[in-house]
Chains A and B, each alone.
Chain A
Amino acid sequence: GESVGLHLPTLSVQEGDNSIINCAYSNSASDYFIWYKQESGKGPQFIIDIRSNMDKRQGQRVTVLLNKTVKHLSLQIAATQPGDSAVYFCAAAPGSGNTGKLIFGQGTTLQVKP
């Protein structure tokens, strides 16, 4: 079946450094991708999204890169801060139908060292 996976379960970075979190997906028909941040005891919080007609999108301190050839996307966080410590999920929407379903990866825990 369709899957979304993250490359590393945990990423530890120094405060002020840039962070890169990677994600791979299996369904080449997926055409919409989202990154969420989840802090302990809270629901996922939207960070940034990208559609398949783009290969890069930037937000405030975050950039998402999409490589459809190898079915890979990444989230880059610039100047990582302690408040960025959380679990990060990528999610993909299937390209066909109107199902509403998002397929989530298992999450990467980002630890920011002061």
Chain B
Amino acid sequence: GAGVSQSPRYKVAKRGQDVALRCDPISGHVSLFWYQQALGQGPEFLTYFQNEAQLDKSGLPSDRFFAERPEGSVSTLKIQRTQQEDSAVYLCASSRTSGAKETQYFGPGTRLLVL
């Protein structure tokens, strides 16, 4: 594929609603990452998959956040009972091999606004 794609690009949710954000990584990429980027800040790591295995979820801010990659390709980040502080851009990245020491290619992000 051309690059990492994410959908939707924009999402407005009412406080308390559940949302699901989708990431399609570059075809064949082993690793997939989710980051959260608040306005005016750098991306902050949320979680990391190697194929279908979630190897690091230390950055998920609460148990309302859940990510999965069941077949080792497409990934979904789910946020339950959204709060206003969840408003941010959610970025997905993929890399060809495993670990952080390979170039991570980012998608355009999903901008989430919780009202």
Q: Is B114 an interface residue (CB 8 A)?
A: no
Q: Is A61 an interface residue (CB 8 A)?
A: no
Alpha-carbon distance between A113 and B44 when the two chains are bound, in angstroms: 31
Would you give the shortest CB distance from A112 to chain B, in whole angstroms?
A: 20
- Interchain CB contact under 8 A, A46 and B103: yes
Would you give the shortest CB distance from A16 to chain B, in whole angstroms?
A: 28
- Closest A residue by C-beta to B89: A43
Q: Is B56 an interface residue (CB 8 A)?
A: yes
A-side interface size class: 20 to 34
Q: Is A54 an interface residue (CB 8 A)?
A: no
Q: Mark A70-107, 1 if CB is under 8 A from B, else 0.
A: 00000000000000000001010110001111111111
Tell me the interface secondary structure of chain B in the complex: loop
Alpha-carbon distance between A49 and B95 when the two chains are bound, in angstroms: 14
Task: Give B49-85 interface residues, CB cut-off 8 Å to A.
Answer: 50, 55-56, 58-59
Alpha-carbon distance between A91 and B37 when the two chains are bound, in angstroms: 14
Q: Mark B95-115, 1 if CB is under 8 A from A, else 0.
A: 000111101111111000000
Q: Is A59 an interface residue (CB 8 A)?
A: no
- Closest B residue by C-beta to A42: B108
- Interchain CB contact under 8 A, B42 and A99: no
Q: Is B4 an interface residue (CB 8 A)?
A: yes
Q: Which of A93, A98, A104 contacts B43 (CB 8 A)?
A: A104
- Closest B residue by C-beta to A6: B42
- Closest B residue by C-beta to A103: B45
Show the binding face of B for A, using Cβ within 8 Å. Answer: 4, 31, 33, 35, 40-45, 48, 50, 55-56, 58-59, 91, 93, 98-101, 103-109
Query: Mind listing 19 A-B residue pairs with CB under 8 Å?
Result: A4-B42, A34-B103, A43-B93, A43-B109, A44-B43, A93-B101, A99-B48, A99-B56, A100-B31, A100-B45, A100-B48, A100-B98, A100-B99, A100-B100, A101-B45, A101-B56, A102-B104, A106-B40, A106-B42
